[in-house]
Amino acid sequence: MPSAYIHRLFAFAAMAIPACKDESVVVPPPVDAAFASVSAGLLHTCGVTVTSHVYCWGWNRDGEVGDGSHSDRVYAVRVAGALTFGAVSLGGGHSCAVTTGNVPYCWGLNLTGQVGDGSTTSPATPVGVVGGLAFATLASGSGATHTCAIAAADSTAHCWGWARYGQLGSRPGETCATPAAEPCSRTPLVVSGGLKFLAISSGARHTCALAVDSVAYCWGHNDAGQLGTGTTLDTAGPVAVAGGLHFARLTLGFSHSCGLTAGGDAYCWGDNTFGQIGDTLRSQSSVPVHVVGGVMFTTLSAGSEHTCGISTGNVAWCWGQNGSSELGVESTETCTTETGVVISCSRRPLGVTTSQSFGSISSGGHFTCALTTNGKAYCWGNNSNGQLGTGNTSGSNVPVQVANQP
């Protein structure tokens, strides 16, 4: 996927995009059970229920909602088919999930092979990833046009999709027309280096994974130091993140990365234009820096240009860009973009304005979603395409409940 297209997708998340109006809004059947997890993409959202069914809502131009249509969905709709899924992960314009038996499926935008079915045709319902591999986990982050996964059998990492910057972890021998020829892989490629991994996370143009010894490795684009290697040099193979830290979780945004230690300390690195790495002194960092504020986290999620986490006590915190109220709280700070635009932001974690107790959180393009401890989904921020799932396209500066939940 050419950079121009990536930035176009990225810009979409910060502006009002009219929902598709080729059909009237129909209220679908309600979600059949409480949510077990939720994943926010660039402009759409999906969740897995405790009954292992996937529901999606929001932007659907390329079929990323998975119900067979190409119309935006302001309500949660169940992904087509009889498959049952254990986890779902969203990219810039595509969605992927693994079944309860570790079989991978993807749907939506497939211009650079990110769906992994061997084609560049964009399916509006789930199709199997070719290769016959069973995956324990997969990842395709907000804005990403590639997908990565960890093989269940041997813990090797595999990636497919757009590959210009080495974000697949190896150099593919094919190209995709985007419209110019760009390096890509329509099928999973094993990441070079022979490392074994526990978890993996995809950014827009880079990837990081957690090795079995809890050391973080990253590869791909590194213009803002998002690989954490102490340089700004791109790499097509895994390189250890500097600093000798051991992490329990990794999460990637557009041009920043974050890691959470087993003790609850949050570290981030890369672009800090909007304070998304939680540092008050630097515009970017090529090595991990401790997130300011002294909050101890149980989980983290990096969005395109913001980051959120849940602290002990089930409190939600967010920091970074706040131009679309994606932080869920008003900020008194401002940041200036490369083009001189002044925008609301926070360089330090702020408590989300809510009375809810959240157990998990997922940061998207310019919005955020979270699950309460009893499985209710709430979202806030930009809602240009219905990605908040509230039945309309009105944004919110505080968490609002996704409609039609049991």
Express each pLDDT in 34-65 by its tens digit: 999 999 999 999 999 999 999 999 999 999 99
Question: Strand ranges (DSSP E) for 91-223?
Answer: 94-99, 104-108, 127-128, 135-139, 146-151, 157-162, 174-177, 181-190, 197-202, 206-211, 216-220
Give the model's confidence band at 17: pLDDT under 50 very low, under 70 low, under 90 confident, else very high.
very low
| Arithmetic mean of pLDDT over the chain | 94
pLDDT of residue 32: 97
CB 317 within 8 Å of CB 284:
no
DSSP 76-104: EEEPSSS--EEEEEE-SSEEEEEETTS-E
Return d(Cα 274, Cα 266) in angstroms, integer: 17
Token duo for residue 9: 């997708």
Give the model's confidence band at 25: pLDDT under 50 very low, under 70 low, under 90 confident, else very high.
confident
The residue type of 190 is V
Q: In what order do the strands lie in the sheet with 35-40?
A: 35-40, 44-49, 54-58, 73-78
Express each pLDDT in 55-99 by its tens digit: 999 999 999 999 999 999 999 999 999 999 999 999 999 999 999
What domains can be seen in the chain, in order of their start residue? Answer: 3-401 (2.130.10.30)
pLDDT of residue 2: 41
- Mean pLDDT to the nearest integer, 321-343: 96
Query: To which H or E segment does residue 271 belong?
Result: strand 266-271
Express each pLDDT in 275-304 by its tens digit: 999 999 999 999 999 999 999 999 999 999
- Mean pLDDT to the nearest integer, 302-310: 98
Token duo for residue 346: 């926070």
pLDDT of residue 1: 37
Express each pLDDT in 169-190 by its tens digit: 999 999 998 888 999 999 999 9
Residue 81 φ then ψ, to 5°? 105, 175
Residue 16 reports pLDDT greater than 70: no
Residue 12 reports pLDDT greater than 60: no
- Name the pTM for this structure: 0.95
pLDDT of residue 305: 98
If DSSP codes are grouped into helix, strand and coil, which group holds residue 53? Answer: coil
pLDDT of residue 338: 87
The residue length of the chain stands at 406
List C-alpha distances in Å: 196 to 155, 167, 191, 248: 5, 17, 10, 15
Return d(Cα 353, Cα 394) in angstroms, integer: 18
Express each pLDDT in 213-244 by its tens digit: 999 999 999 999 999 999 999 999 999 999 99
CB 38 within 8 Å of CB 370:
yes
